[in-house]
Structure 1
Amino acid sequence: MQAFTTHKGIVAPLDRSNVDTDAIIPKQYLKSVKRTGFGPTAFDDWRYLDPGEPGMDHSQRRKNPDFVLNQEPFDRATILLARENFGCGSSREHAVWALTDFGFRAVIAPSFADIFFNNSFKNGLLPIALKEEEVDAIFKAVAANPGLELEIDLPNQVVKAPDGSEYAFEIDSFRKHCLIEGLDDIALTLEHADKIKAYETAQMEKTPWLFNDLRGNVGG
């Protein structure tokens, strides 16, 4: 998982509430579990004028010129700005994969759906919950200056705007540690590989029959 310490990038304003995971990545793209390749189909129904299917050359599809991520400079954004209850709907982790594969490192909104919120941390995407009035202020700043860049300082838990405004945010200390160190669930487990191996060796000596395969061989 890509570590997150500080990040500066263009903000894309998605001025919608209750953006659900089916809108972020439609169901027809859920067959793959590779975590990559979902960027071209992020927000598929809003982004394109014609229906999409897996295996298509999405670069040849007609784009909706009214959708924000098809417009300069927002097509190069790495920070997504949205309204309340972002990521609601089904629990599909593919929604986070689609956002990260598009290039987003963080999403700023007043609130998030719980499962999406949890999935984000496991995949290196930082969900930042700010007060509604603070989100409003950022929307207005982006409208006045398209291409506005924000700086996110995770160690100090603050979002910095070019005009000097700063927006503090809360984050669980363990999740913060994992993001800064780039540790997903597998990496966290591997940090204890020596202890796991020692436990398995001890158990094999105590109860070798539990480690027999179908041919009667002892596993190792």
Structure 2
Amino acid sequence: MIYRHLPREIGQPLHDGVYWQSQRPLKLFVFSQLHGEVRYRPGEGVEVTGPVWFRFASPERDLALGLAAGLLRFGRIRIATLDFAVREIATLALPALEERLVVRALSPITVYRTLEIKGKRRTQYYNPLHEEFGELVVANLRRKASVLGVEGREGTVRVQALSVHPRGKRLECYKGTWIEGWVGRFLLEGPAEYLRLALEAGLGAKNSQGFGYVEEVKADADARANAREAGRR
């Protein structure tokens, strides 16, 4: 979906994982799930009844501008088996960042380890209650920062789940493989440069497959969410 709308000089090296120089292929962009008049039906797909939107972010300005230009030029976008007309593209300013940021996931955050058990390799996913979840999110963020030359103080980045419920678990099928991820609200603490990177490149793994897009939860929206939660108790 993303690559075909980019200029070839950007899309091809990005697809091949060589746009940024790193030991492992790295694609520093992220996009959210569809939001708006859409309903997700586990195991069945999605039902779209009206206008929908998604968000895209990257620390590379040319990449974001190239995608916007491509979408406007083509005027249509195909997502899975659905065709959409592009009606509007808008840019969002990053919030003023300090060293604490509350975010919510607009697409599931996934982290995992590949383990070998009895001679067989298996993927172990972690949920936000596991200590490894935060450790792997931070390690992934540090790797992105290293590739981009973003400097931050060692040992000062932390991820804490604030509001994650069992219903926040998501199982997404990507090219025949089921991937486990989680949505909810999280507290990020660390240098502002790292928090900016979380917003621009996503949290966790598989960002270029649509995992880990997060946005700031503003204080007034957070208060309303807490009030709704209290009212349900």
TM-score of the pair, normalised by structure 2: 0.24
TM-score of the pair, normalised by structure 1: 0.25
The structure richer in strand per residue is 2
Instruction: Mark the structure with the bigger radius of gyration.
Output: 1
The structure richer in helix per residue is 1
